[in-house]
């Protein structure tokens, strides 16, 4: 809260007998050993510190080691007489069945009924295999996939109607279910489980071809990155995450005092300019699939403020001057770069371009930035009245 964080999300492990990923899914009741004061008690503590509270769930899945499975083994998708395939030690619930959807709704409604929660991360972490419903005859098994999605939409419809104050974010091992159908109910989606900043620049660049930044879940994660083991600067991770919903997935207690200060500044920056990121016009300027550098920008509705993100993958000695042609500016309006104080007219920035390198020859100058691999800069351009 002291850093300016607005929402605290409780991840996996708060429910049922969830002492490992082999148990507990399907039992959406609070584990009293983990949360002796319940969800409400924790939420009240979080809210008392000025933050909203959210939880992680995976409602479509069930572990065999769960009360739900022991009571209803026929509620999972599986072929009679054959061994079930497990993914992440879990089975897929048969959402083509109304009784299954009703049960999960009742469990979630009980959790959300207090009104303490403001956010739900709805995950889905395995593929659907053995798509056979025990509630349908063999001749109708071809309906199961379609009926499954109808059941999923039904659960979303009921939960979003009953709890309109709750923001739902969808996820399917990342962005595997990032589509308009899901966005109808969950207006933002986790873009990818790959949270490395360099990888995310390509992922978010590509996703922006179809979807707005306000729908793209993007967070600053820990380094070395858990998937590619890459170490990227904190500011580059933030500069990438700004162009999305923005958040943090790391242990603030393990950051240095300097990093905590940087996090505070990053959050303050996002709060100041979030309307531009969320509702401004987004332009892709340089593709990360074609160059060692990438650039994109957001422009406010009145075209008087623009935020340009510029990213370089690998540092190079004696690199040539680089410039990027901007877009969406007022041609006859003078803009000032808040970083350097330099002033240029909109037509110059759009046709000649913005100089994005410091022009040093051989010897790096740390005060100018861009001295390492995976570096980046943000340029805030404001119209001069």
Dump pLDDT digits (tens) for 220-246: 999 999 999 999 999 999 999 999 999
Backbone phi and psi for residue 339, each to the nearest 5 degrees, phi listed first: -80, -50
Backbone angles phi, psi at 168, to 5 degrees: -100, 135
Strand 293-299 versus strand 281-286 pairing type: antiparallel
Own/partner long-range contacts of 290-297 (Cβ < 8 Å, ≥24 apart):
292/316, 293/322, 293/324, 293/356, 294/201, 294/205, 295/324, 295/356, 296/205, 296/208, 296/243, 297/326, 297/327, 297/328
* Backbone torsions φ then ψ of 61, nearest 5 degrees: -115, 160
Count of residues for the chain? 385
Local confidence band at 319 (pLDDT 50, 70, 90 cut-offs): confident
Residue 370 has a pLDDT of 57
pLDDT in tens, 334-356: 999 998 899 999 999 999 999 88
Catalytic residues: 123, 193
Over the stretch 78-89, which tens digit does the pLDDT of each residue have? 999 999 999 999
- Percentage of the chain modeled with pLDDT above 90: 90
Tell me the pLDDT of the chain averaged across its residues. Answer: 95
In angstroms, the Cα distances linking 280 to 20, 195, 273, 301 are 43, 24, 10, 6
What are the structural domains of the chain?
A: 7-280 (3.20.20.70), 293-383 (2.60.40.1180)
What's the DSSP call for residue 190? E
Residue 361 has pLDDT above 60, yes or no: no
* Segment 268-295 mean pLDDT: 97
């Amino acid at each position: 809260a002291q850093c300016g964080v607005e929402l605290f999300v409780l991840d996996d492990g708060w429910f049922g007998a969830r002492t490992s990923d082999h148990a507990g899914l399907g039992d959406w009741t609070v584990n009293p050993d983990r949360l002796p004061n319940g969800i409400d008690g924790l939420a009240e503590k979080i809210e008392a510190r000025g933050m909203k509270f959210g939880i992680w769930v995976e409602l479509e899945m069930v572990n065999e080691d769960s009360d739900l499975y022991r009571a209803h083994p026929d509620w999972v998708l599986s072929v009679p007489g054959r061994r079930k395939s497990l993914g992440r030690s879990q089975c897929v619930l048969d959402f083509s069945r109304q009784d299954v959807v009703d049960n999960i709704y009742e469990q979630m409604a009980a959790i959300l009924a207090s009104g303490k929660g403001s956010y739900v991360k709805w995950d889905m972490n395995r593929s659907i295999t053995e798509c056979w419903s025990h509630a349908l005859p063999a001749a109708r098994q071809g309906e199961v996939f379609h009926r499954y999605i109808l059941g999923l939409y039904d659960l979303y419809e009921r939960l979003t109607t009953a709890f309109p104050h709750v923001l739902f974010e969808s996820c399917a091992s990342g962005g595997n279910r990032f589509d308009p159908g899901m966005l109808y109910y969950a207006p933002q989606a986790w873009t990818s489980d790959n949270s490395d900043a360099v990888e995310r620049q390509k992922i978010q660049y590509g996703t922006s071809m179809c979807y707005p930044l306000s729908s793209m879940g993007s967070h600053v994660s820990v380094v070395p990155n858990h998937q590619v083991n890459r170490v990227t600067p904190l500011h580059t991770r933030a500069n990438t995450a700004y162009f999305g919903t923005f958040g943090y997935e790391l242990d603030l207690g393990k950051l240095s005092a300097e990093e905590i200060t940087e996090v505070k500044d990053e959050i303050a920056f996002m709060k100041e300019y979030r309307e531009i990121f969320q509702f401004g016009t987004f332009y892709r300027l340089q593709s990360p699939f074609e160059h060692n550098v990438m650039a994109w920008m957001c422009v406010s509705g009145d075209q008087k403020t623009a935020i340009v993100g510029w990213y370089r993958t690998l540092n190079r000695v004696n690199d040539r001057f680089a410039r990027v042609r901007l877009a969406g500016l007022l041609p006859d309006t003078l803009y000032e770069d808040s970083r350097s104080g330099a002033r240029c007219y909109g037509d110059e920035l759009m046709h000649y371009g913005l100089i994005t390198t410091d022009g040093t020859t051989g010897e790096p100058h740390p005060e100018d930035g861009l001295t390492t691999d995976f570096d980046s800069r943000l340029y805030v351009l404001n119209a001069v009245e």
